[in-house]
Structure 1
Amino acid sequence: MHSLNSFIHDLTPEDLPDNVIEQAQRCLLDLLGVAAAGHRTRLSSIMQRFVTAQYPGDIPLLFSDQTASLCGSALFGALLIDSLDAHDGQVLTKGHVGVAILPALLAQAHEQPLDGKGFLTALVIGYEIATRAGIALHRTASDYHTSGAWNGIGVAAMLSRLRKLSPEQTAEALGTAEFYGPRSQMMRCIDHPTMVKDGSGWGALAGVSAVLLAESGFTGAPAITLQGPEVADIWQDLGQRWYILEQYFKAYPVCRWAQPAVEAVRTLRQHPGFAPEQIEAIHIYSFHEATRLHKVLPETTEEAQYSLPFSVASALIDDAVLPEAVAETPQGLQHPLRRQLSQRVHMHETEAYNARFPAERWAHAHLIMKDGRQWTSEPCIARGNPENPLITGELLAKFNLLTDGLMTTANQRHVSEACLASWGLDRLDVEALLKRLSGRLAV
């Protein structure tokens, strides 16, 4: 067991098991693919204009030819990834870590040269601290907060290490990041999906700001999610249990809560004679939070990403939920059959599935066809969990799908090879990777 401060400042690359290093590299690849695809959204262009105007500086924005300050670059990168709901997550936090950690790390890496060992070790520290902070906040807070409420604590821990804060400054930074993290209500953005998303942009901003403030002598309130006696057990296995190994990877760019239902209807496509045009009704049985994804006819990318009916309709057409399905285009949100099928979805809350949430997320589907045939799926979970992982080849395919038309084939290969780097801490060329991530995409 490490103390919190020693884990942040004294963890060495040699302390990391091989599978932890490999998982960090998978997270890096997956997040970068989502970030690139995020440039297709309106949110990304709005935020690019905002941060370049309000946070001027010389740090490159992710996949852009524009620059901003350390705070602005981290804020932009986190909202860029969050704009396309396809990034990794963790079931016990009911949220996302890497979306805030990676943009802050990339922004700092532009200021401070890092080798592969330093980069990936810092990334792991961010994941481990943020995940535990998220679990602790859910235990101690009465409301369900967005990821930004706690993933900024991981950002503060990671940057405290890289910027060599003292133990006292680190404690102040962590306390400030927790205090200023956006305690925004998650279910409000589920019921009313807009660009506020999961709060992770402001989590990244709070974490970076907290470290910069601590460097200047700013004092923060004690971080109760790190120090409270009621959460002490969460921190006892720091450096022994690696929560980064418990991240899930999304197969589709929609809310994770919709994905068990997506998998359920995908199994029903296999029946002989299946044709989506012949569906009369689609009954989905799942847990309460999934049934709150209620938007039937989404008009924006955000509404589509938080719509179980639209996600299911898209999966029945494409056997997957492709990125274009959540785009504001005639092939996406305005696709006639997607909209017709979305209106035929009926959602049912199931107590047996409620009892297993959040550690497990389940759904099953029942299709009624116009000719009277009826099919019921087995209970399904989403793909990409630790128990049914997306293998590296599938993550590469996802990365290529997300970046098609945005990167050349050569650049896709260069970025993916740089991320995976033959599974080695010392093989990741951070400087070369940063050059690949700076510059305008073909959008």
Structure 2
Amino acid sequence: MTTSHSPVDWIRHTDLATLDPALLTQAKRCLLDLVGVAAGATQTELADIARRFVTTQHGGDRPLLFAAGRSSPTGVALHGAWLIDALDAHDGQVLAKGHAGVALMPGLVALPEARHLSGRDFLGLLILGYEVATRAGIALHATSPDYHTSGAWNALGVAAVAARLLGLDDERLHHALGIAEFYGPRSQMMRCIDHPTMLKDGSGWGAMTGISAALLAQAGFSGAPALTMTSPEVGGVWADLGQRWYLHEQYFKAYPVCRWAQPAVEAILNLRETIDDPKNVSRIEIITFHEARRLHVVHPSSTEEAQYSLPWSVACALGRGTLDAQAITDLAAPELRALASRVRIQERVAFNACFPAERWAAARLHLSDGRIVESAPCEARGNPHNPLSDEELAAKYHALADPLLGEQTATLYDIIMTLEERPASDLLAQLGAP
């Protein structure tokens, strides 16, 4: 497949039926992961607030993702992306420095037109959205001096998918992208790192903005151009549409915490078998990059603080040998709080230089008998060069979804894994309230 130099033309005219089967396979992996994270997040406080908000403030008849009640397409998108973002275990991309799928999947299921899609076309639109959103993120980071949340750019991916689903012509598609860019939440990412709250990565607002943008453009609302797609200085970002597939460059998370903390978690897990008892560790030194050092909360009091806490992530890994969803909700364990208090974080110039394309950390444990054990530099698992296996992704999906869905988890898994052979309505029928 060759590319057009116009992103608008590529979005409108890419033949979804000719997409490489390897792309469909990767899209199903992303979809499975997103669905699992959404199911696992339903028990968070944010999930309940999100449901109540959209059912009272966004009236409509569309079903919500894994929740009772109905809402408008904008409300479904807002709720679904808020839900997935509530559990920081979803996929991402290093150069975009954030997450595309968290907004794309809820945006795609929000519109009633989705029920008429084939499963293959559903996956094709998801692929299209990943390509647009990821490039929009890379372009925004290249042209803005501030580090904006994912909602600032995944809104454009949602707008592209929604506009294609609604059948908008070139002019209205261009306006939809411009509206999404202009109204997208250009919120301060590092503020939420320094002060973790339910605002998270802005993706709820990004998904809602993308759907709003497509519907506004359909009604004749103008908003072009989208400068992150049309400015000469970002031309190179868009020149290889249809040739380089960023869908294959997404990472999957092994743990439900900020990606920046995960290299340190791997470093700690590599050392854990060298010590007899975590209680014998008197000091935990983490050497990492600047952005990870900003994950500074020692004793989190909310799941949001826990997900953005490197000391807590390290303490859980050392104390329990794993870092699962329970670790970011059970925050009172005295032995973990004690370990978190012993964490000291340093930066390494070489690690800073690698960010964002690479994220590294090393760990050094000081033991009560005077010994010091140190890890080699580590990366997080789940990148394209050190991927989570299909079996690991399936196990993660079941661990997150089984408590909510029970026997339905296996049915939904089978539907996702064979979606290209089914109507999309088979999937949509499984995504409502359990």
Structure 1 residues not aligned, in runs of 5+: none
Aligned to 2:427: 433
Q: Distance in 2 between matches of 1:4 and 1:252?
A: 34
Is 1:298 paired with 2:300?
yes
**Structure 1 residue 393: deviation in Å?**
0.7
Aligned to 1:419: 416
Q: Structure 2 vs 1, CA of residues 307 and 428 (structure 1 numbering), >3 Å: closer, same or farther?
A: farther
Alpha carbons 1:264, 1:363 under 8 Å: kept: yes
- CA-to-partner distance for each residue in 1:336-367, whole Å, 9 max, x for gaps? 11111000000001101000000000000000
Q: Distance in 2 between matches of 1:110 and 1:308?
A: 42
Aligned to 1:56: 59
**Structure 1 residue 109: deviation in Å?**
5.0
Aligned to 2:73: 70
Alpha carbons 2:114, 2:122 under 8 Å: kept: no
Is 1:38 paired with 2:28?
no
- CA-to-partner distance for each residue in 1:224-265, whole Å, 9 max, x for gaps? 100000000011100000000000000000000000000000
2:292 alignment partner AA: A
Is 1:24 paired with 2:27?
yes
Select the residue among 308, 311, 330 that pairs with 2:313.
311
**Structure 1 residue 4: deviation in Å?**
1.4
Q: Distance in 2 between matches of 1:25 and 1:297?
A: 37
Aligned to 2:110: 107
Select the residue among 216, 220, 234 that pairs with 2:219.
216
Q: Distance in 1 between matches of 2:100 and 2:317?
A: 27
Aligned to 1:324: 326
Name which of structure 1's ranges 167-176 and 397-406 shifts more when overlaid on structure 2.
Answer: 397-406
**Structure 1 residue 419: deviation in Å?**
1.1
Name which of structure 1's ranges 229-238 and 214-223 shifts more when overlaid on structure 2.
Answer: 214-223
2:83 alignment partner AA: L
- CA-to-partner distance for each residue in 1:380-414, whole Å, 9 max, x for gaps? 00000000001111000001111232121x21111
Counterpart mapping for 1:231-250 below 5 A: 231-250=234-253
Q: Distance in 1 between matches of 2:105 and 2:156?
A: 13
**Structure 1 residue 214: deviation in Å?**
0.5
Alpha carbons 1:59, 1:111 under 8 Å: kept: no
Name which of structure 1's ranges 256-265 and 367-376 shifts more when overlaid on structure 2.
Answer: 367-376
1:360 alignment partner AA: E
Name which of structure 1's ranges 98-107 and 317-326 shifts more when overlaid on structure 2.
Answer: 317-326
SS of corresponding position for 2:430: helix
Alpha carbons 1:282, 1:346 under 8 Å: kept: yes
**Structure 1 residue 106: deviation in Å?**
1.2
Alpha carbons 2:114, 2:424 under 8 Å: kept: no
Q: Distance in 2 between matches of 1:10 and 1:188?
A: 39
Counterpart mapping for 1:346-385 below 5 A: 346-385=344-383
Alpha carbons 1:110, 1:434 under 8 Å: kept: no
**Structure 1 residue 77: deviation in Å?**
0.1
1:373 alignment partner AA: R
**Structure 1 residue 111: deviation in Å?**
5.5
Alpha carbons 1:59, 1:110 under 8 Å: kept: no
Is 1:119 paired with 2:122?
yes
SS of corresponding position for 2:373: strand
SS of corresponding position for 1:368: strand
Q: How many residues in Structure 1 have an aligned counterpart in Structure 2?
A: 431
**Structure 1 residue 112: deviation in Å?**
4.0
Normalising by structure 1, what TM-score? 0.96
Aligned to 2:288: 286
Structure 2 residues not aligned, in runs of 5+: none
Aligned to 1:88: 91
Instruction: Give me the identity figure in percent.
Output: 55
